[in-house]
Structure 1
Amino acid sequence: MEDDEYEEGMEMDMGGHQHLQHRGYGAEEEVEGGYAGGGDGEDEEEEARDEEEITQEDAWAVISAYFEEKGLVRQQLDSFDEFIQNTMQEIVDESADIEIRPESQHNPGRQAEFAETLHKISFGQIYLSKPMMTEADGETATLFPKSARLRNLTYSAPLYVDVSYRVVKKGHDCEEVTETAEYPKVFIGKVPIMLRSSYCTLFQQSEKDLTELGECPYDQGGYFVINGSEKVLIAQEKMSTNHVYVFKKRQPNKFAYVGEVRSMAENQNRPASSMFVRMLSRAGAKGGSSGQYIRATLPYIRADIPIIIVFRALGFVADKDILEHICYDFSDTQMMELLRPSLEEAFVIQNQQVALDYIGKRGATVGVTREKRIKYAKEILQKEMLPHVGVGEFCETKKAYYFGYIIHRLLMCALGRRAEDDRDHYGNKRLDLAGPLLGGLFRMLFRKLTRDVRSYVQKCVDNGKEVNLQFAIKAKTITSGLKYSLATGNWGQANQAGTRAGVSQVLNRLTYASTLSHLRRLNSPIGREG
């Protein structure tokens, strides 16, 4: 495939580039050396010159060198390249194999030759070609941004994936027969390409070549061409995930302080699971000022759970063990006193099974056996609570320490040793650029594609037809899904809840500066509140 050659060529080109630069720098150093080494008497001068302060001019030299190399829209390009080079393959890899068992149609008199058959489809390596267009007569040609703009086309590159299709037949005598068919490089859709990114035809072209291709050498790229119009993805601001925040509640309120963490595992893309740890206000507690209980919310559990019960459910039963995870210094009497009411509250629950049952009882399912409830609670603690710490087995210790840390931060704030967090501080914000935005969209579309493949193959298998993967894989899903979102700016599937509007906008070409400004803009989605 010409891809690989193209990539190798690219690397060589880059290598050559770096080479030239190094030679350039080296030459300058030699010249300086020549000045310095005029005679022995000048050694001291050289030392003195080494100790000179860094001047403003030097700083500007560094700054201009930085922008010389990086350009002003590097944040867009890097983000997109990361999406193409890593994220897409990760999304394909994390999708589970499609397994299909035939739903047997009842036909009497025929004895099946095999006890059961299993059809498995799995996706492998993905490939991205150069941006292409297909003419009306079916001819394909390389697409350049200029012709895409002029002819109202979408500047996108075809995406291929290796598919392997296995049929496992189990005989009546328990022996297995496996038939495997490999389909290399099946077309699964087109991905719009960001101009001047490393998969664009304009990547690292000289000024002369750019002018010949009808591109402005001063144009920075960093946008897409969708149906002939230039679209920018605006960076979306959000609260940082996997970070503990403690906020003081405006009184009068049931709670005095709230600690929250929006936990999201690095590799899985599910919506963040929030966890809140709340400290009740003094007056709110029953029996006057008997103390400040601390409660935690767990995902899918209706009621707030006292924190000590959560620790016992994680397998930390002794009070001393629990306190070690929260209050790192036992001589800190103030903090220990704040924890006393919580310990007394959970005094009745003294082992892990009872604690798990307590949590399970407050779960979604009602009227199941105790074993089921305990299993349900275990699952939730393992998979749903703080998934970024780990979702596998044996993460209980790590989770307990992190949970203890959340409570520790809450208590520090309650004791007035730490200020509450500032939810408007830029350190607590993260920006979703083109990469993560397209990643979320691609994941959703790829899932839809696999669902369609599954239902098609299921139909074929049930009716005893041959399975044709070319028909099963609808390339239109990914192509039109990405195109729709970039064209309209509605991020997500059409007429579906939870779609954001205005993520992609038409690039402002009023002046050169306005274009640059638009490419570096960010959006803070504000809810409908105040």
Structure 2
Amino acid sequence: VLHGKSPSELMKLKECPHDPGGYFIINGSEKVILMQEQMSKNRILVEGDTSKGLICSVTSSSAQTKSKTNILLKDGRFFLQHNSFTVDVPIVILFKAMGITADKEILQYVGREQSIWAKVVPSLKQCIDAKIHTVQDACRWLQSKLRQPRFRPSRSTGKTSSDITDRDVQVDIQRMLRDIVITHIPMERMNFSVRALFLGQMVRYLILLADGKIPPDDRDFYGNKRIELGGSLLALLFEDVFKTFNEDLWLTVSKLDTKRRVAPFDISRHIKTWLITEQLNRAISSGNWIIKRFRMMRQGVTQLVSRLSYVAALGHMTRMTSQFEKTRKIAGPRAIHSSQWGLICPSDTPEGEACGLVKNVSLMCHVTVEVDDTNLMQLIRSYGVFPLREFSYGPNEYIVYVNGKPIGYTEDPRELAAVVRGLRRARCIHEFVSVHIKPTVKCLHVVSDGGRLCRPYIIVSNGVPLITQDMLDVSPYIAGCFFLPPIPLSP
């Protein structure tokens, strides 16, 4: 109603033209949804010197599922750590369960250097000692290590535990792996080749970290973080409440269907029209965000808007909180990081236990929203990106990632990055698409996801800024302001 209105029109509607907006009015109280700081999704992160040894993790997030995959390096061998299994799964057994049974093929997914292969040999020997050679052997082993058994005697099919074949176990275990391991990468017809390459990349990162060729990732670096806005939080809540609404309606209809009815059935009489509105109002008013689907429970997501001054209200709209526990006495997440320059206000933070954990976004900072990457992938593939089935870890081969999903490889990453930047500046793709090259691990990342903090830059070409002094001269606009007609105070 108020969007796009002029100051005089806002005053006619009895609204303050200087009100920044961005809050909700629930039962007469002004509530603002705070921005939530969290780690980046679909990105490989390596950590060293942990209690579990070296670890490489990726938090997969898609519209359907969310999962976390951890690869550990312990005693010179690689393991998958997941709460679905009672023990850490040897990485070679995982490869074999995905259908990659040849040892040479497993090595080729990790690299082509002899030094890389030498680090994977102990894991291969571990698989040989366990007498696991085929896909069925690997799936049987994984099925025996499940925390919750997948197969039970079924009265509907007439199958007992003794009737279950190796094929049944293989199909079920591979479906489970599809749903828990690197779930952000799409699959076609149970083909694990792209996920196996991504898994090989994670093993390779651990080897390079152990050899000191790459540094561990800094969790406080803002390139590894994302900001969750109120829109995405409301979308998650609405999706969860809408599913509850449908399930409740289905249960009501199924109970009535068994009874004899004389009058015609009217479904509108059984729809709880108040359910979605009440749940949204309750979440915003209390600040408790409960998402059953992803087992997410957060407190203090919303706060009362501070009206002490205009600056206080504006600062509340740009406030950002971290999921880090306030009671933990660790200086790292609280300290000022060099990557916060131009993104986070270095001085506006509360005193006490919340110091450094509650921050404010700078005035010229922009938080991106998610952009569909389907057209972006097609465009990048048309600029010299080769399919992944031809990738062989050559000296000039760089894997191309789009929002964490490998789509191919290129032999000229600098040229491809220049093309993407040129398309962005020509407005052929979204203006907030980011591209960067990581030469230490030979990959190129193109990112268009939401929650990235962006700061303004001046583009410099050959040492000369592309912005001129004429563009910065604001005196004509200032002079024109003196001749603007006054805002009428009464209609």
* TM-score normalised by L of structure 2: 0.60
The aligned residue for residue 32 of structure 2 is: 232
Report the alpha carbon displacement of residue 227 of structure 1 after superposing the two structures with TM: 1.1
1:314 paired to 2:95: no
The aligned residue for residue 242 of structure 2 is: 446
Inter-CA distance 375–529: structure 2 relative to 1 (3 Å threshold): farther
Partner AA of 1:240 in structure 2? S
Structure 1 counterpart SS, 2:138: helix
Misfit runs of 4+, over 4 Å = none
The match for 1:390 among 174, 178, 186 is 186
Q: How far, CA to CA, are the matches of 2:30 and 2:244 in structure 1?
A: 27
Map 1:24-423 to 2 at 5 A.
Answer: 201-250=1-50, 253=51, 255-265=52-62, 267-268=63-64, 270=65, 272-281=66-75, 292-298=76-82, 300-327=84-111, 330=112, 332-347=113-128, 348-363=131-146, 364-365=148-149, 368=161, 369-371=164-166, 372-390=168-186, 393-423=189-219
Inter-CA distance 497–415: structure 2 relative to 1 (3 Å threshold): closer
Q: Deviations over 1:456-483 (max 9, x none)?
A: 1111111133432212221111010000
Q: Deviations over 1:155-178 (max 9, x none)?
A: xxxxxxxxxxxxxxxxxxxxxxxx
Report the alpha carbon displacement of residue 529 of structure 1 after superposing the two structures with TM: 5.0
Q: How far, CA to CA, are the matches of 2:291 and 2:61 in structure 1?
A: 22
Report the alpha carbon displacement of residue 497 of structure 1 after superposing the two structures with TM: 7.8
Q: How far, CA to CA, are the matches of 2:103 and 2:315 in structure 1?
A: 57
Q: Deviations over 1:356-408 (max 9, x none)?
A: 11111111217844534333311112222111012553341111011111111
Q: How far, CA to CA, are the matches of 1:234 and 1:207 in structure 2?
A: 27
The aligned residue for residue 414 of structure 2 is: none
Tell whether the 8 Å contact from 1:361 to 1:373 is kept in structure 2 after alignment.
no
In structure 1, runs of 5+ residues without a counterpart are 1-200, 282-291
Tell whether the 8 Å contact from 1:441 to 1:491 is kept in structure 2 after alignment.
yes
Partner AA of 2:282 in structure 1? Y
Report the alpha carbon displacement of residue 498 of structure 1 after superposing the two structures with TM: 4.6
Partner AA of 1:350 in structure 2? H
Q: Deviations over 1:231-277 (max 9, x none)?
A: 11100111111111111134xx5x42111111122x22x4x311111
Structure 2 counterpart SS, 1:248: strand
Tell whether the 8 Å contact from 2:135 to 2:170 is kept in structure 1 after alignment.
no
Partner AA of 1:399 in structure 2? R
Q: How far, CA to CA, are the matches of 1:452 and 1:391 in structure 2?
A: 33
Q: How far, CA to CA, are the matches of 2:187 and 2:275 in structure 1?
A: 31
Inter-CA distance 394–373: structure 2 relative to 1 (3 Å threshold): closer
Q: How far, CA to CA, are the matches of 1:390 and 1:204 in structure 2?
A: 40
Q: Deviations over 1:187-242 (max 9, x none)?
A: xxxxxxxxxxxxxx111111111101111111121111111111111001111111
Partner AA of 1:343 in structure 2? L
In structure 2, runs of 5+ residues without a counterpart are 153-160, 330-491
Report the alpha carbon displacement of residue 320 of structure 1 after superposing the two structures with TM: 1.4
Report the alpha carbon displacement of residue 493 of structure 1 after superposing the two structures with TM: 7.5
1:513 paired to 2:308: no
Tell whether the 8 Å contact from 2:24 to 2:32 is kept in structure 1 after alignment.
yes
Give the total of aligned pairs.
Answer: 310
Tell whether the 8 Å contact from 1:382 to 1:392 is kept in structure 2 after alignment.
no
1:504 paired to 2:302: yes
The aligned residue for residue 71 of structure 1 is: none
Inter-CA distance 442–361: structure 2 relative to 1 (3 Å threshold): same
Tell whether the 8 Å contact from 2:54 to 2:206 is kept in structure 1 after alignment.
yes
The aligned residue for residue 485 of structure 2 is: none
Q: How far, CA to CA, are the matches of 1:474 and 1:400 in structure 2?
A: 46
Q: How far, CA to CA, are the matches of 1:432 and 1:387 in structure 2?
A: 20
Report the alpha carbon displacement of residue 521 of structure 1 after superposing the two structures with TM: 0.7
Q: How far, CA to CA, are the matches of 1:447 and 1:441 in structure 2?
A: 10
Partner AA of 1:409 in structure 2? Y
Q: How far, CA to CA, are the matches of 1:343 and 1:498 in structure 2?
A: 38
Inter-CA distance 318–493: structure 2 relative to 1 (3 Å threshold): closer
Task: Specify which structure has the higher proportion of helix.
Answer: 1
Partner AA of 1:256 in structure 2? G
Structure 1 counterpart SS, 2:298: coil
1:425 paired to 2:221: yes
Report the alpha carbon displacement of residue 441 of structure 1 after superposing the two structures with TM: 0.8
Of structures 1 and 2, the larger Rg is shown by 1
Q: How far, CA to CA, are the matches of 1:403 and 1:467 in structure 2?
A: 54
Q: Deviations over 1:291-334 (max 9, x none)?
A: x111112452222111111111111111111111111xx2x232
Q: How far, CA to CA, are the matches of 1:432 and 1:310 in structure 2?
A: 33
Structure 2 counterpart SS, 1:346: helix
Inter-CA distance 497–338: structure 2 relative to 1 (3 Å threshold): closer
Inter-CA distance 460–489: structure 2 relative to 1 (3 Å threshold): same
Structure 1 counterpart SS, 2:297: coil
**Identity over the aligned pairs, expressed in percent?**
30
Q: How far, CA to CA, are the matches of 1:256 and 1:384 in structure 2?
A: 22
Structure 2 counterpart SS, 1:401: helix
Structure 2 counterpart SS, 1:276: strand
What's the Cα RMSD here? 2.1
Q: How far, CA to CA, are the matches of 2:122 and 2:314 in structure 1?
A: 58
Q: How far, CA to CA, are the matches of 2:48 and 2:209 in structure 1?
A: 8
Tell whether the 8 Å contact from 1:452 to 1:472 is kept in structure 2 after alignment.
no
Report the alpha carbon displacement of residue 346 of structure 1 after superposing the two structures with TM: 1.1
Q: Structure 1 residues 497-506 or 399-408, which shifts more?
A: 497-506
Q: How far, CA to CA, are the matches of 1:413 and 1:336 in structure 2?
A: 15
Structure 1 counterpart SS, 2:174: helix
Q: How far, CA to CA, are the matches of 2:210 and 2:276 in structure 1?
A: 50
Structure 2 counterpart SS, 1:376: helix
